[in-house]
A and B are shown apart, each in its own frame.
Chain A
Amino acid sequence: MSDNSKIVLELKNVTQIFAESGVRACHDISMQVQGSEILAVMGENGAGKSTLMFLISGFMEPGRGEILCRGGKNPADLRALVGMVHQKPLLAGDLSVLENIILGPEKGLFRKDVLKEEIAAVQERYNLPLDLHLKAKQLTAPQIQRCELIRALWKNKELLILDEPTASLSTTQSEELFELLLRLKGEGKTVIFISHKIHEVMKVADRIAVIRRGELQGIDAKGNLSPREISRLMIGEDTLPGEEPAAEKRGEIDRTGVPVLELSNLGYSETGTRRLDSINLSLYPGEILGMGGIRENGLTHVEDILCGLEQPDTGFILLNGKNRMPLTPLKLRRSGISYIPADRLKRGAAPESTLAENLSVLKRQAGFGSYRKRLFSWAGQFISDHAIKGEAKQKVKTLSGGNIQKMIVARELENNPPLLIVSEPSWGLDFKSRDRLHSQLVQAREEGIAILLLTTDLDELLSLSDRICVLTEGRLTEIERTEEQWNRYYIGEKMTGADRA
């Protein structure tokens, strides 16, 4: 390693809170980025990595704390220093590659031929072939990434940030990228790359920083961290009070009949990349099947497909043995299937409407006379029965998040559905509510309801599920009920990909 005494960037007590949502994206982060190194930043989705990158690249100023570079705190210096390669494609489709590269706030005319030569030289030097005349909308995801890389190198950026760079790359392409990164390091550049794939990080990074819930959990040289430790830092060691022992399940579940839900060879692609591949699962009445993973790994897509919003490219979805594709939300409701979504305020509730209205859509109050009167009196009863803290005529947006979830759960369980799809149920809930919700789910299971639990919360997965499967990079792996597999560490590593390191 050359010149590791030079510090290129320093963060001191950086904190960023988003006022509108109250989300604490970064909390008191202090770290140094050294010259000529490759630093990997790891963490689960929502851990705060992206916000941190916005701060480092100078597009946001930290609420508290400071970011120092080139001897000062000027964000303009940061913007000049840092070149970012984004995770999601960020090019103007109608413009050519060349035009996308040179787009910037400078003024005046430009000499096309001169710039073309300059850029071509950069491409030549780093072996990044790409036809500059292609329109950006014709590019594949790896090519788009390449375009952003070329720009960063053409602009002689000292610090490069790559956000999940291998998400759309093949193994060979990833290898090529890593070679490039090592070479850049050799030239004195600094690289920060965000990843949740431990095995990749172990290959190419010098130091690794782990962020969890907005806080820096640890930053150390690769040699000092094992994949297990990294995984543990990413997922956390919380032991929650009142966690039900996983062993206390009742007798064998009857799996001889027709499964309530069956996914057969499900596949799904998005922007040319295969997000879900060969997904097979069967769910029977009276059991909770937990599907764990990290959101980027496909859980969102599974949820969207199961609620009827997206359609898979391949495979079948069978409800009670019958192929019910294409699934739509209406079809699901007609079959009596309940859905507790992760996106509560968009899919699960109507924030501008009253509590009573939010509850009403599943329970039609038949009869004559004013629907309004019947609705509100029924709702009042329901609310007090389920101890929801709110009034029937209150607008849902004024209720606390926990109460909103309480309402949604109470509503969805009310009609004794044969199948319940529930996603991230205890996200954002306090311990008491979380416990209560878990008991409700267990109770539902006792009554014979089949439950598919999609969650990124490892503890929830373990304490509730009868069976567990893990979704990693689009593929499903079943976890066996053995000493070796049925525990936090094994499952955690499967979720983060540490086991492949």
Chain B
Amino acid sequence: MILAIFGSATPLILAALGGLLTERAGILNIALEGMILGSAFAAVIVGGMTGSLALAVLAAIGAGVLAALLFNLGTFTLKGNPFITGLGINVLVPALTVSISQSLYGNQGIIRPDGLSGISRIGGMDIFIPLALLLAVLLQIIFFRTRKGLIIRSCGEQEDLLRARGINPVSIKKEMVIYSGLFSGLAGAALSLGLGVYVPGMSAGKGWIALVAIYLGYRKVPGVVAACLLFSLAEWGANRAQGFLGVPPTLILSFPYFMTMAALWLFSVKKRKKVDCSGGFRVN
């Protein structure tokens, strides 16, 4: 049971860690959802064609990084709004997967190449689980013991400080977005290779839940991991206790959005109470 919960939390953790990197650098990566989906797709396609785990994972990472590059193009080079750029990717990815899937496999639905199932299991355990935990530890070390970690942490808070110290905050942000693409790539691979199948829309809001997990975990690595496990646990519990609890799993799908909304509201209320030197406005 524990293994199952960790297993289902792994894509979340991977995506959330990538999202944490960008969030700390000051950019909220809305495109996680699309990145995960695209990577899951790429992993299954390449894995199906080559039968190789390594190549499948590489393809997934490639897809994630490609999406990240697009995000950077739209947000930084073209100076767009990052939320909308992220949405653009979330819209573009499913459309592209459908087209590619149609031309490669002749259908737009589930893709289940032979021999793909279980490809990511070594010694009975999904290798992505320890990978995710390892990366979490690594990230924690980076945040607190390396100079780069300091830079990332201050980028989201006080860009001018970085500029004053001779560091360009924009390149830091772009770099973090690429890393989040990488992490999302791993997340997508974990998601689809674990099952050996690609289902359209299989990311199922995990990108959004990852964002909620970031805030629920107070933007710290241990907290984020814990939050992801919590979500996984809740999902497991909801599936088991469907009859007893009376809260249908479909309804639970709405929770991440409402939670994020509530958090946003509280955050805004708090912000209004603070003395704002530049002059906050009041309702007339």
Is chain B in direct contact with chain A in the complex (CB below 8 A)? yes
Asked if B277 is at the interface (CB within 8 A of a chain A CB), the reply is yes
Given contacts A84-B164, A91-B161, A93-B158, contact A102 B150 (CB under 8 A): yes
- Chain A residues near B158: list those with CB within 8 A: 90-93
- Chain B residues near A331: list those with CB within 8 A: 284
Q: Across the interface, do A93 and B157 meet the contact criterion of CB distance under 8 Å?
A: yes
- Chain B residues near A103: list those with CB within 8 A: 147, 150-151, 154, 161-162, 165
Considering only residues 158-203 of chain B, those with a C-beta below 8 Å from chain A are 158, 160-167
| Assembly CA distance A109 to B153 (angstroms) | 15
**A74-106 vs B, Cβ < 8 Å mask (1 yes, 0 no):** 000001000010100011111100011011111
Q: Across the interface, do B146 and A95 meet the contact criterion of CB distance under 8 Å?
A: no
Q: Across the interface, do A310 and B279 meet the contact criterion of CB distance under 8 Å?
A: yes
- Closest Cβ of chain A to B122, distance in Å, is 31
Given contacts A90-B164, A328-B282, contact A107 B148 (CB under 8 A): yes
- Chain B residues near A84: list those with CB within 8 A: 164
Chain A at the B interface: mostly helix, strand, loop or mixed? loop
Asked if A59 is at the interface (CB within 8 A of a chain B CB), the reply is yes
Considering only residues 259-284 of chain B, those with a C-beta below 8 Å from chain A are 275, 277, 279, 281-282, 284
Considering only residues 343-373 of chain A, those with a C-beta below 8 Å from chain B are none
Asked if A271 is at the interface (CB within 8 A of a chain B CB), the reply is yes
**A15-39 vs B, Cβ < 8 Å mask (1 yes, 0 no):** 0000000000000000000000000
- Chain B residues near A93: list those with CB within 8 A: 157-158
Q: Across the interface, do B157 and A59 meet the contact criterion of CB distance under 8 Å?
A: no
Closest-by-CB residue of A relative to B155 is: A92
Q: Across the interface, do B167 and A92 meet the contact criterion of CB distance under 8 Å?
A: no
- Closest Cβ of chain A to B37, distance in Å, is 32
Closest-by-CB residue of B relative to A80 is: B166
- Closest Cβ of chain B to A450, distance in Å, is 24
Asked if A108 is at the interface (CB within 8 A of a chain B CB), the reply is yes
Q: Across the interface, do A330 and B165 meet the contact criterion of CB distance under 8 Å?
A: no
Selected contact of B147 from candidates A86, A102, A326, CB within 8 Å: A102
Q: Across the interface, do A92 and B161 meet the contact criterion of CB distance under 8 Å?
A: yes
Given contacts A92-B158, A93-B157, A95-B153, contact A59 B147 (CB under 8 A): no
Q: Across the interface, do A108 and B157 meet the contact criterion of CB distance under 8 Å?
A: no
| Assembly CA distance A105 to B157 (angstroms) | 17
Q: Across the interface, do B145 and A110 meet the contact criterion of CB distance under 8 Å?
A: yes
**B132-146 vs A, Cβ < 8 Å mask (1 yes, 0 no):** 000000000000011
Asked if A329 is at the interface (CB within 8 A of a chain B CB), the reply is yes
| Assembly CA distance A95 to B284 (angstroms) | 38
Q: Across the interface, do B147 and A270 meet the contact criterion of CB distance under 8 Å?
A: no
Selected contact of B275 from candidates A106, A270, A326, CB within 8 Å: A270
Q: Across the interface, do B146 and A105 meet the contact criterion of CB distance under 8 Å?
A: no
- Chain A residues near B150: list those with CB within 8 A: 95, 99, 102-103
| Assembly CA distance A168 to B157 (angstroms) | 23
- Chain B residues near A99: list those with CB within 8 A: 150, 153-154
Most buried by A among B150, B151, B157: B150
Q: Across the interface, do A94 and B157 meet the contact criterion of CB distance under 8 Å?
A: yes
Closest-by-CB residue of B relative to A98 is: B150
| Assembly CA distance A92 to B154 (angstroms) | 5
Asked if A180 is at the interface (CB within 8 A of a chain B CB), the reply is no
Asked if A253 is at the interface (CB within 8 A of a chain B CB), the reply is no
Closest-by-CB residue of B relative to A94 is: B157
Sorting the interface of chain A by its residue count into under 10, 10 to 19, 20 to 34 or 35 or more gives: 20 to 34
Q: Across the interface, do A328 and B284 meet the contact criterion of CB distance under 8 Å?
A: yes
Asked if A118 is at the interface (CB within 8 A of a chain B CB), the reply is no
Asked if A304 is at the interface (CB within 8 A of a chain B CB), the reply is yes
Closest-by-CB residue of B relative to A92 is: B154
- Chain A residues near B275: list those with CB within 8 A: 270-271
- Chain A residues near B277: list those with CB within 8 A: 270-271
**A105-124 vs B, Cβ < 8 Å mask (1 yes, 0 no):** 11111101000000000000
Asked if A309 is at the interface (CB within 8 A of a chain B CB), the reply is yes
Given contacts A91-B158, A102-B147, contact A329 B284 (CB under 8 A): yes
- Closest Cβ of chain A to B81, distance in Å, is 18
- Chain A residues near B147: list those with CB within 8 A: 102-104, 106-110
- Closest Cβ of chain B to A139, distance in Å, is 13
- Closest Cβ of chain B to A362, distance in Å, is 16
Given contacts A92-B154, A93-B158, A328-B282, contact A109 B146 (CB under 8 A): yes
Q: Across the interface, do A309 and B146 meet the contact criterion of CB distance under 8 Å?
A: no
| Assembly CA distance A433 to B108 (angstroms) | 70
**A165-188 vs B, Cβ < 8 Å mask (1 yes, 0 no):** 000000000000000000000000
Closest-by-CB residue of B relative to A84 is: B164
| Assembly CA distance A331 to B282 (angstroms) | 12
| Assembly CA distance A279 to B151 (angstroms) | 44
| Assembly CA distance A248 to B151 (angstroms) | 63
- Chain A residues near B164: list those with CB within 8 A: 59, 84, 86, 90
Q: Across the interface, do A94 and B281 meet the contact criterion of CB distance under 8 Å?
A: no
- Chain B residues near A90: list those with CB within 8 A: 158, 160-161, 164
Closest-by-CB residue of B relative to A327 is: B282
- Chain B residues near A108: list those with CB within 8 A: 146-147
- Closest Cβ of chain A to B215, distance in Å, is 14
- Chain A residues near B167: list those with CB within 8 A: 104-105
| Assembly CA distance A112 to B141 (angstroms) | 13
- Closest Cβ of chain B to A428, distance in Å, is 22
Selected contact of B279 from candidates A79, A92, A309, CB within 8 Å: A309
Considering only residues 318-343 of chain A, those with a C-beta below 8 Å from chain B are 326, 328-331
- Closest Cβ of chain A to B203, distance in Å, is 31
Q: Across the interface, do A109 and B145 meet the contact criterion of CB distance under 8 Å?
A: yes
**A269-309 vs B, Cβ < 8 Å mask (1 yes, 0 no):** 01100000000000000000000000000000000100001
- Chain B residues near A107: list those with CB within 8 A: 147-148
Q: Across the interface, do B153 and A94 meet the contact criterion of CB distance under 8 Å?
A: yes
| Assembly CA distance A204 to B203 (angstroms) | 66
| Assembly CA distance A170 to B179 (angstroms) | 47
| Assembly CA distance A144 to B277 (angstroms) | 18
- Chain B residues near A326: list those with CB within 8 A: 282
- Chain B residues near A309: list those with CB within 8 A: 279, 281
- Chain A residues near B165: list those with CB within 8 A: 103-105
Given contacts A93-B157, A310-B279, contact A105 B145 (CB under 8 A): no
- Chain B residues near A112: list those with CB within 8 A: 145
- Chain B residues near A110: list those with CB within 8 A: 145-147
Closest-by-CB residue of B relative to A330 is: B284
Some 24 contacts from A to B, beta carbons below 8 A apart, are A59-B163, A79-B166, A90-B161, A91-B158, A92-B154, A92-B157, A92-B158, A92-B161, A95-B153, A100-B161, A103-B150, A103-B151, A103-B161, A104-B167, A108-B146, A109-B146, A109-B147, A110-B146, A270-B277, A271-B275, A309-B281, A310-B279, A328-B284, A331-B284
A contact residues vs B (CB 8 Å cutoff): 59, 79, 84, 86, 90-95, 99-100, 102-110, 112, 270-271, 304, 309-310, 326, 328-331
User: 5 tightest CB-CB pairs across the interface, nearest first?
Assistant: A92-B154, A330-B284, A309-B279, A92-B158, A92-B157
